[in-house]
A and B are shown apart, each in its own frame.
Chain A
């Protein structure tokens, strides 16, 4: 997962993909807990709706990062239209996924809504703690170097 970054010449590879992959990994880590919780409270319907919400959130992050990476590779001028177009497209896909199934007997709105909103925000807040703001490492903070620095300070 580690991506070589060189902040000196501006030739970065894909920091947003690195961040999105890290968010995806954290989402997979926390997903069993959320799905078990949803299935305990709402039964199998909660499990199904929670799984759909989880898939939407994680796929949304990956798709957003992929669109930005694709647009930046072509030109910065394309970035604005690609990001806004991607936003509309992703909202359309989410709406198109949920509208046909929302009247099904097994569809529970509460686990779906709670997991969709709180997982999205929670993963972002969790990830923000690990994002680097340095030019040397524009993606994630290098953990090994941070630990070494801490040891050297000790």
Chain B
């Protein structure tokens, strides 16, 4: 984790010194904004699945299967945001 923070700081510092700081800021903001939607979506999916599991414990397996697929589909948005982040980074 520390190495991740250190590498991020060094990348941002290099970008600022090369005059491409705005690109780095935009990339970071883009990734952060792109992660908000999946975060909310996963929260809704898991909340609904927990609701279904507690109301009908006999259907917990089906709810978990659907929840897993829903989470994975929602995560695709975050992965797209990550790719855009990598593309935008100077």
Contacts and interface: CB of A to CB of B under 8 A. Distances in A.
A131 B82 contact: no
Given A87-B75, A116-B83, A117-B79, A131 B65 contact: yes
B1 A92 contact: yes
B50 A10 contact: no
Contact-size category for A: 35 or more
B13 interface: no
B42 A134 contact: no
Contact-size category for B: 35 or more
A115 to B, nearest CB: 10
B24 to A, nearest CB: 12
Interface string A80-101: 1001100100111011101110
A112 B83 CA distance: 9
Given A7-B58, A76-B50, A87 B69 contact: no
A4 B73 CA distance: 26
B64 interface: yes
B88 to A, nearest CB: 11
Contacts of B61: 5, 7, 10, 12, 15, 135, 138-139
Interface in A5-63: 5, 7-10, 12, 15-16, 19-20, 60-61
Interface string B12-40: 00000000000000000001000100110
Contact of A100 (B7, B57, B71): B7
Top 7 A-B residue pairs of the complex, sorted by shortest distance between their CB atoms: A138-B61, A12-B61, A16-B68, A10-B57, A96-B4, A113-B83, A138-B62
